[in-house]
């Protein structure tokens, strides 16, 4: 929720005179570098996931691709955001309206898309584990790629609405704190509650299934997929809660350094951790990565021999 810092930050930036347009300090540049590395890793993860033969034609592949895309959007936005943090903040708050609105839309989209992606992924996993007889006939599953497109368009539309609400001269009756509470309630709390409730039911069903002595390979695959989603959702909720604490501290005290450290050392590594968890738990993923490494090694040896 990078834009939650903006009102407190501007008072600091606006009083800095000629230094207000200078680019980032070392901590902000570290944040940009960490997010740039996370962007590259998640892009590689997206490429591997898209090419895995074991996932082709499965709903799980669609879920993984959208989670990776949400992480990539976050990493790309944060890299650009912190490369020239002070200049960005001034344009974000006091720049031309034609520039402020697109910037706010991008920041809202990267803030909240992951929660809605998890909500739809949780619905698919709930149907697969808890309602297997209704799974194939469900509209959610049969049209999962289309549903994810709708989710992205929905979050983009809400981001556009809140981008206008966050500009005081356009909506003078709502202050920054009120709009922040409203956007968090609408765009984060709702989908998180839905995902949490569904994944708790999925976890309980998985525990019940574990007590059965005979599980098919298909059941094992469903279990691994469900546990992956549960783990990364739990990590995302930790990130979300810490972000709320950071936002409250920043709003009440004006301390912005906490939020910079938080962004640098927690959120970006979390997006990398998603790929690590999936790669560690999936044999076909590990085999594909090893094959890529072996191909590159053989190519380098061949070029050296020539």
Ordered by where they begin, the domains of the chain are 2-207+217-299 (1.20.1070.10)
Q: Which residues of 150-183 are buried (b: 16+ CB within 10 A; e: fewer)?
A: ebbeebeebbbebbebbbeeeeeeeebeebbeeb
Residue 6 reports pLDDT greater than 60: no
Top-confidence range, 51-55, 163-167, 252-256, 281-285: 51-55
Closest CA to 284 of 48, 79, 85: 48
Cβ pair 227, 280 in contact under 8 A: no
Question: pLDDT tens digits for 140-187?
Answer: 988 999 999 999 999 999 998 888 877 666 666 666 666 677 777 878
Question: pLDDT tens digits for 12-42?
Answer: 344 444 444 456 577 778 888 888 998 998 9
Between 204 and 20, where is the model more confident? 204
Residue 48 reports pLDDT greater than 80: yes
Q: What is the mean pLDDT of the chain?
A: 77
Dihedral angle computed from the Cα positions of residues 224, 226, 227 and 231, in that order, rounded to the nearest 10 degrees: 140
- pTM score of the predicted model: 0.79
| Confidence at residue 232, expressed as pLDDT on a 0 to 100 scale | 85
Cβ pair 226, 150 in contact under 8 A: no
Which tokens in the block code for residue 22? 């200078």
What percent of the chain has a predicted confidence (pLDDT) above 70? 72
Identify the weakest region by mean pLDDT among 82-91, 94-103, 258-267, 281-290. Answer: 258-267
| Confidence at residue 13, expressed as pLDDT on a 0 to 100 scale | 42
Give mean pLDDT, residues 41-58: 85
Residue 111 reports pLDDT greater than 70: yes
Going by pLDDT thresholds of 50, 70 and 90, the confidence category of residue 265 is low
Between 99 and 137, where is the model more confident? 137
């Amino acid at each position: 929720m990078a834009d939650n810092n903006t009102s407190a930050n501007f008072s600091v930036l606006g009083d800095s005179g000629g230094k207000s347009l200078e680019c980032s300090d070392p901590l902000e540049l570290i944040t940009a570098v960490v997010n740039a590395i996370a962007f590259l890793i998640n892009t590689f993860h997206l490429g591997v996931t898209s090419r895995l033969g074991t996932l082709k034609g499965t709903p799980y592949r669609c879920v993984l691709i959208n989670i990776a895309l949400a992480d990539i959007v976050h990493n790309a936005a944060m890299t650009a955001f912190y490369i020239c943090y002070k200049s960005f903040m001034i344009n974000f708050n006091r720049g031309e309206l034609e520039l402020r609105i697109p910037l706010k839309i991008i920041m809202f989209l990267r803030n909240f898309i992951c929660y809605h992606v998890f909500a739809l992924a949780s619905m698919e996993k709930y149907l697969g584990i808890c309602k297997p007889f209704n799974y194939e006939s469900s509209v959610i599953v049969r049209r999962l790629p289309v549903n994810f497109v709708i989710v992205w368009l929905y979050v983009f539309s809400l981001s556009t609405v809140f981008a206008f609400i966050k500009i005081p001269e356009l909506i003078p009756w709502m202050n920054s704190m009120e709009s922040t509470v409203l956007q968090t309630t609408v765009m984060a709390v709702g989908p998180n509650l839905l995902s949490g409730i569904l994944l708790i039911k999925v976890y309980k069903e998985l525990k019940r299934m574990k007590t059965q002595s005979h599980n098919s390979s298909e059941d094992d695959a469903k279990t691994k997929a469900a546990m992956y989603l549960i783990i990364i959702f739990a990590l995302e909720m930790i990130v979300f809660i810490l972000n709320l604490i950071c936002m409250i501290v920043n709003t009440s005290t004006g301390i912005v350094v906490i939020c910079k450290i938080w962004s640098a050392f927690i959120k970006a590594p979390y997006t990398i951790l998603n790929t690590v968890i999936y790669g560690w738990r999936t044999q076909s993923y590990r085999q594909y990565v090893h094959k890529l490494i072996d191909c590159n090694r053989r190519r380098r040896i061949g070029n050296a021999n020539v």
